[in-house]
C-alpha cells in the first residue's frame, strides 16, 4: 500500500473530531443578519432604474425593511410552511409599507420589484450562512419565506390601493 493509501486508511480509523457549529433555523439567521439584509437590499435597489426614478434618501428607501424582515423571520420560525400558505396572518408592517410607498409616489409595479429584490437578498444571505443552517428544516423554511414575502407584498398592495382616491 502506498503512502496515500496509508493516510486514507489512517483517516478512516482515526477520524478527526471537528467542532460542530450550532445549527439555526432560517428565521434565526435572518434575525441575526437583519442589518446585512438591509444593506444588501439597498445596494440591489440602487441598481434598479425603476426604483431610482424617485429621489429618496437611503433612510426613506429602507425605513420599512427592519420591521418587515424581523416580522418575516419571526413568522418563518413559527410557521408550518404548508399550513401558512392557506392561513397568512395580517402583517401591520406590510400594511404600513404600502401606505408609505403610496405617499412616496411608488407604483404597484415598484412594490413588486422591491419584494423580488428582498427575496433575492434573503436567499443570498442564507447562501452566505449555509454552515449555520439546519438543513433538515431548510426547504420548509425557504417555502415559508417565499410564501411570507408574497403575503407581505399582497398586504402592501392592498394597503396601497386603499390610499387611492375614490
User: Any residues with CB less than 8 A from the CB of 24 and at least 6 apart, and which?
Assistant: 32, 129, 132, 133, 134
pLDDT at 82 over 70: no
Residue ranges of the alpha helices (H) in 46-166? 58-62, 65-78, 81-84, 92-104, 108-128, 135-162
**pLDDT at position 89, please?**
75
**pLDDT at position 106, please?**
97
Domains of the chain: 26-162 (1.10.490)
In the block, which residue shows the cell 413588486? 112
pTM (whole model) above 0.85:
no
pLDDT in tens, 41-80: 999 999 999 999 999 999 999 999 999 999 888 888 776 5
pLDDT in tens, 108-120: 999 999 999 999 9
Cβ(108)–Cβ(50) below 8 Å? no
Nearest in space to 82 (alpha carbons), one of 152, 143, 39: 143
Amino acid at each position: 500500500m502506498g503512502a496515500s493509501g496509508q493516510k486514507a486508511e489512517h483517516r478512516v480509523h482515526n477520524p478527526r473530531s471537528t467542532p460542530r457549529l450550532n445549527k439555526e433555523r432560517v428565521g434565526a439567521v435572518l434575525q441575526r443578519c437583519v442589518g446585512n439584509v438591509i444593506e444588501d437590499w439597498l445596494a440591489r435597489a440602487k441598481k434598479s432604474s425603476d426604483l431610482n426614478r424617485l429621489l429618496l434618501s437611503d433612510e426613506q428607501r429602507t425605513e420599512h425593511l427592519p420591521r418587515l424582515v424581523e416580522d418575516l423571520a419571526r413568522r418563518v420560525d413559527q410557521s408550518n410552511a404548508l399550513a401558512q400558505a392557506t392561513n397568512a396572518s395580517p402583517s401591520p408592517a406590510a400594511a404600513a409599507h404600502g401606505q408609505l410607498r403610496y405617499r412616496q409616489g411608488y407604483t404597484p409595479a415598484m412594490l413588486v420589484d422591491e419584494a423580488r429584490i428582498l427575496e433575492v437578498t434573503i436567499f443570498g444571505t442564507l447562501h452566505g450562512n449555509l454552515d449555520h443552517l439546519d438543513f433538515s428544516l431548510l426547504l420548509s423554511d425557504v417555502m415559508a419565506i417565499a410564501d411570507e414575502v408574497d403575503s407581505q407584498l399582497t398586504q402592501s398592495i392592498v394597503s396601497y390601493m386603499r390610499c387611492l382616491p375614490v
